[in-house]
Amino acid sequence: MSIALNHNLKNKIIVITGAGGILCGFIAQELAKTQAKIALLDINFEVANQFAQQINNNGGISKAYQTNVLNLDSIKQARDDIFKDWGTCDVLINGAGGNSPKATTENEFHEDNLPDTTKTFFELDKSGIEFVFNLNYLGTLLPTQVFAKDMLHKKGACIINISSMNAFTPLTKIPAYSGAKAAVSNFTQWLAVYFSKVGIRCNAIAPGFLVSNQNRGLLFNSDGTPTARANKILTNTPMGRFGQSQELLGGILFLIDENYSSFVNGVVLPIDGGFSSYSGV
- On whether the CB atoms of residues 203 and 188 are closer than 8 A, the answer is yes
Residue 56 to residues 38, 39, 59, 73, 140, Cα–Cα distance (Å)? 10, 12, 5, 28, 27
Residue 177 falls in the annotated catalytic set = yes
Burial degree of 222 (CB within 10 A; 0-12, 13-18, 19+): exposed
Q: Which of 44, 52, 86 is nearest to 68 (CA)?
A: 44
Choosing from 65, 137, 177, 194, the catalytic residue is 177
Residues 6+ apart with CB under 8 A from 95: 16, 17, 18, 19, 21, 23, 24, 27, 162
Burial degree of 96 (CB within 10 A; 0-12, 13-18, 19+): buried
Euclidean distance between CA atoms 201 and 158, whole angstroms: 5
Catalytic residue numbers, as ranges: 177
